[in-house]
Structure 1
Amino acid sequence: MDFTKVISFSFLILSLIIPTKTTATCTNAVCRHGDPIIRFPFRLNSHQSKSCGYRGFDLSCDTKGFNRTTITLPFSGNFTVERINYGAQEILINDPNNCLPKRILELNLSTTPFSGVYARRFTFFSCPTSDYLRFRPLNPITCLSGENSTVFATASPRMMNYMSSQSCRLMKTVEVPVRWPFYEQTVSYSELSGDLWLTWRVPRCSRCEIRGGKCGIKSNSSTETICSDAHKPAIPRRARYAIAIGAGIPGALITFGLFCFVYSKISSCIKRRRRLVPSPDINNNNVQAHYLQSSIMITGLDGPTIESYPKIVLGESKRLPKIGDATCSICLSDYEPKETLKTIPPCQHCFHADCIDEWLKLNGTCPVCRNSPEPPRNHNS
């Protein structure tokens, strides 16, 4: 064997031993205007190579004329993809034939990478159409109902007991992936026409997405993922925390300065009035207090309200109400087991307890969605 053949054979062996990095250019794809943008871990079958997606995350464009984004779930069939939240690792799907309750009765996620973000147990009943008015305000599921029978679904134990005692036939009880928080009244009277809310735990790309990076497969021979082009914080958590909380300080200083200015003007005015009027009105102190109260701008929340928000001690699994919440949006540090977190109702966004406590003292809105938290019902302000 000559030297050239030896070199060629050596390169062949090395190429089999050393994993080859993915070289395919994975650009974003979309089926039609307004549909979700498709990128890793999802891939569009007809436009992106296999290395651009993760196993079990294949999507396609509907070929029946509507060109809608479609996902095929084993044992459950095709669903339209309504929305994808890559940062939270959530996907919303629905039935292309507009009868989602029928699909729910046959839904099987056991062989898919997806699971319900929040599951709620619904029981389906088939009742005589002649008795329809007896079950109000339950909403009938029209696509499952017929001329002689009307189908209802409820998650209310009270309604289930009532319907079981009537002339209704119990069809099936199933776990439904619903959006959360799901209020009891809505659950009781739902016709289950909303989207199914699913999540995935593998691959974990939420941290990469939050930092503005690009998640992908490390190599063609591996399922390990890497994050490229991510904006990594260059300062430690405590410094980032101080800077984030400090963002509220300018507003507080301005408010304090305004208060001092207004207070000094009011005080000067009252003093001048006292000098001009020998017998001051007995209500001057009340007037002064009124002006002082009206000049103060309260931007944060009070202590009892902040303290009333629910706390979570993170376990080893680091499972949270929102699967994608792996990083505190205030200090930009990843959550670790045994840390104390706090959630803000009703948006349910999570943060380190010490981070969000200091934030809410200066800013009365959620750092993520900017909505104003609702005070608890039993809290007396």
Structure 2
Amino acid sequence: MPSLQIFFSFLLFFLFLFLLFPQRARGASSDCSISSCPAGGPPVRFPFRLRRIQRRPCGYPKFDLSCSNQTNLTTLTLSGSGAFLVKLIDYRSQKMWIDDPNNCLPKRFLSHPFSLHDTPFSVPGDSKNYTFLNCSSSQTTPTFPAKSISCLSSLEYTVYAVPTGAYYASAPAAAPSSSPELCSVISTALVPRGVTYERSNGRVSGAGVAVTWSQPDCSACEAGNKACGLDTDTRQIVCSDRKKSPGLPRAVKYSIILGVGIPGLLLLIGIIHYIYGKIFDRLHRSSTDDLSTSTALQSANVVVGLDAPTIESYPKTLLGESRRLPRANDNTCSICLGEYQPKEALRTIPECNHYFHANCIDEWLKLNATCPVCRKSPEGSSLVTPSSSVSSSSSSSLASLQ
């Protein structure tokens, strides 16, 4: 019975998982509703998809986003350039703004080139070379057009980004870094033209770089407020009525399901165990009662015989040489079917006056309380159990031997 309980427990557990994660269990009926990372971020829908949250058919190839393991914010990983924080997605204009997770894009540009190779994205306009200068805080602001980079600056110095052409056109041709009025050059880097800036505390810091995509083209769907998607059979872009986004985030829904579902499942398993235990006890009790009843019936059906004193009280006759019988023409014992011979002892049952060999009828009456001929039961006789009969028989045998 315990193995049956364990089987049903596992069956209910897998049924619970099937209901909890319908997308994974049902396969084809995938839910491609709008989603986002737990810590927030732009809403994610086609052509993008969030790995581990939305199924692969919900997005377009190479448009995968993910939730950062450290911050749980929306992240785009570019081959050759690393991971970038996704700040905004404009689905209608098909433009996305990405930023450095540490809010310092210029540092990323100085460490390695910004590349969109092997990605579906591009930067509007051409990239431009910028020269980064390290200027002491005691020096005056450079006269050429420059933008301070707060994430690279400190109290002792300020880092400026200057278009390379404008810098070298304004600075002296010979050893510009040796002049006390000028700043030292850190490096020159290619900066995408799509970089935008925001001003904070009087300084200008990088806010992100804008990238665009042309394929898949969902502009017609977005203009008609339709949901854009990919037909998996024809591989064509299709528009459909936009489904209302769920009221609660996916993570909150799963938390509610886990918080309510697991205790409910444990309670259900406990109730089932209790019911099975009751059924098992009832079946066990029923089988025990049936066995007891069967034993009682068998005991009731056991035939008992007479005790030894009652048998010895029946009349006993010793035949003489003349073999004169108590009943004429009745010279055969009904038990052994042998003829009566002289000197043999016969015993008579008083109630019916039938007689037999004394040895034959004695053994018969020890096991049966009725006459073997007419089946009458002697009146006023004492019945004994088979074991008592055997004991009495054994005692009689021992007495005869003595």
Report the TM-score when normalising by structure 2. 0.44
Q: With structure 1 as the length reference, what TM-score do the two structures score?
A: 0.46
- The structure whose Rg is larger is 2
